[in-house]
Amino acid sequence: MSFSSIEAVSFRNLADGVIRTDTPSVFVVGDNGQGKTNFLDAIYTLCYGASFRGGSDADAARTGTQAWSVRGTNPDGSGCRVTWESGIKTIREDDKAIHDRKRLVERNPAIVFCHEDMEFARGEPERRRFFFDQTASLVSAGYIDLLRAYRRVLRARNVALRERSLDVLEVLDIQTVSYGLGLRDERARLSAEFDERFAPRYERVSLLGRRVGVSYRPSWRLEETKDDVLARLAASRDRELALGTSLSGPHRDRFVFVDERGDFSDRASTGQLRLLGLTLRIAQAEHYASVCGRHPILLLDDVLLELDPPKRRRFMENLPEADQAFFTFLPGEPYRDYATGSTVVYWTDDGRFSNT
């Protein structure tokens, strides 16, 4: 659901007040450090109850303050508000408290495109798992529950390994395998579907001339059954006890970007990796729309800056449909080339917004 207005109070460096956003496309133009990314972060916080920039909730409070709030109003008059005060965060939907952020995902799904997306292309396996877990969570509350359950039992299992609680481990092994195989199978289905969307999109934008796709490399092989995995855990018991940690499972899964020569990320240029990270977000938005029958909000934070003009044009042409899109630009960028008749352009200076 789109936002007709965004209100911020003591949120980062944004000036207190309401910003009208009742249009399909909003451009925010300004120099670095003037509030462009903070504005997108306010929207993201409304969508997920947390910042896409990391850090603590306290970091979002304007210097010298101990509280902040953001409120989004939807075109139908409904709205949501996220507040943080005295170390306590409260999320409310139409004045009704939300205790599980899964509800926000269902209400206002958003896809953020930012410089850090390049970590998915060239970063550690953990970052890629994060991306694909996020993609699955956008379309399935059940996946969120399954991931939470696996993480919970994995933590308990690692404690039992460190404490050498053998009787407890026998029980936790069964739970770990049950949740873990569920995750493995869900990730296998997701990667196959995602690959079919990602590969052609990347070729359209990059014009590389060869297919780059997604390959899922699970820690527990797809052909392994529950009994097979339990036997593997039993065989590795002594080593896991010595190290005090679980050595196999979905927390060790890998996602690899491959072409005809193998691991593409190992040989790709910086520009190719940057484009790969952005295309992952395009495919993520398309996957959400295909499964849920709705379009997400798109948040694009200075993502065109490091692309050459032809790639910028192709990237914009391949952006998926959106319920609403917010873009940030530096003043020297040709942002008007990407505007439509309904685009509203704001200039920001020290967190203050003016309409042009």
**Cβ neighbours around 63 below 10 Å, total:** 7
306 and 247 part of one domain: no
CATH code, domain with 352: 3.40.50.300
Which residue, chain included where needed, has tokens 């995902």?
105
Number of domains, the chain: 2
- The pLDDT of residue 100 is 80
Q: Which domain holds residue 230?
A: 125-284
Query: How does pLDDT run along the chain (356 residues), one tens digit per residue?
Result: 799 999 999 999 999 999 999 999 999 999 999 999 999 999 999 999 999 988 899 999 998 899 999 999 999 999 999 999 989 999 999 888 888 877 777 778 999 999 889 999 988 999 999 999 999 999 999 999 999 999 999 999 999 999 999 999 999 999 999 999 999 999 999 999 999 999 999 999 999 999 999 999 999 999 999 999 999 999 999 999 999 999 999 999 999 999 999 999 999 999 999 999 999 999 999 999 999 999 999 999 999 888 889 999 999 999 999 999 999 999 989 999 999 889 999 999 999 999 86
CA atoms within 13 A on the CB side of 278: 30
Residue 185 falls inside a structural domain:
yes
Residue 115 falls inside a structural domain:
no
The residues facing 100 across adjacent strands are: none
Residue 117 falls inside a structural domain:
no
Q: How far apart are CA 204 and CA 138, in angstroms?
A: 25
274 and 129 part of one domain: yes
pLDDT (tens digit, 9 = 90+) per residue, 259-274?
Answer: 999 999 999 999 999 9
Residue 175 falls inside a structural domain:
yes
* SS3 sequence of 252-274: HCEEEEEECCEECCCCCCHHHHH
Which residue, chain included where needed, has tokens 């796709």?
213
Tell which residue, 34, 37, 36, 46, has the closest CA to residue 5: 46
105 and 133 part of one domain: no
Tell which residue, 18, 39, 92, has the closest CA to residue 350: 39
98 and 136 part of one domain: no
185 and 252 part of one domain: yes
138 and 183 part of one domain: yes
Within the chain, residue ranges assigned H as helices are: 36-48, 102-107, 118-122, 125-139, 141-163, 166-206, 226-235, 237-243, 270-292, 309-317
Six token digits for residue 318: 């391949």
CB 320 within 8 A of CB 286: yes
CB 46 within 8 A of CB 6: yes
65 and 152 part of one domain: no
Residue 58 falls inside a structural domain:
yes
CB 47 within 8 A of CB 104: yes
Residue 350 falls inside a structural domain:
yes
- The pLDDT of residue 356 is 66
Of 284, 309, 341, the one marking the end of a domain is 284
Classify the C-alpha dihedral 297-137-131-162 as positive or negative.
positive
Q: How far apart are CA 12 and CA 69, in angstroms?
A: 10
279 and 299 part of one domain: no
CB 302 within 8 A of CB 115: yes
State how far Cα 162 lies from the chain centre.
33
Of 260, 284, 308, the one marking the end of a domain is 284
Residue 270 falls inside a structural domain:
yes
Query: What region, left, alpha or beta, does residue 80 occupy, with left being phi > 0 and alpha being psi -120 to 50 degrees?
Result: beta
336 and 240 part of one domain: no
Amino acid at 157: R
Residue 119 falls inside a structural domain:
no
Q: How far apart are CA 329 and CA 158, in angstroms?
A: 46
259 and 309 part of one domain: no
CATH code, domain with 204: 1.20.1050.90
347 and 272 part of one domain: no
**Cβ-Cβ contacts under 8 Å for 143 (sequence gap 6 or more):** 133, 136, 137, 186
Amino acid at 178: S
Of 284, 304, 323, the one marking the end of a domain is 284
CB 49 within 8 A of CB 72: no
pLDDT (tens digit, 9 = 90+) per residue, 46-98?
Answer: 999 999 988 899 999 998 899 999 999 999 999 999 999 989 999 999 888 88
| Phi and psi at residue 325, to the nearest 5° | -135, 135
161 and 280 part of one domain: yes
CB 300 within 8 A of CB 151: no
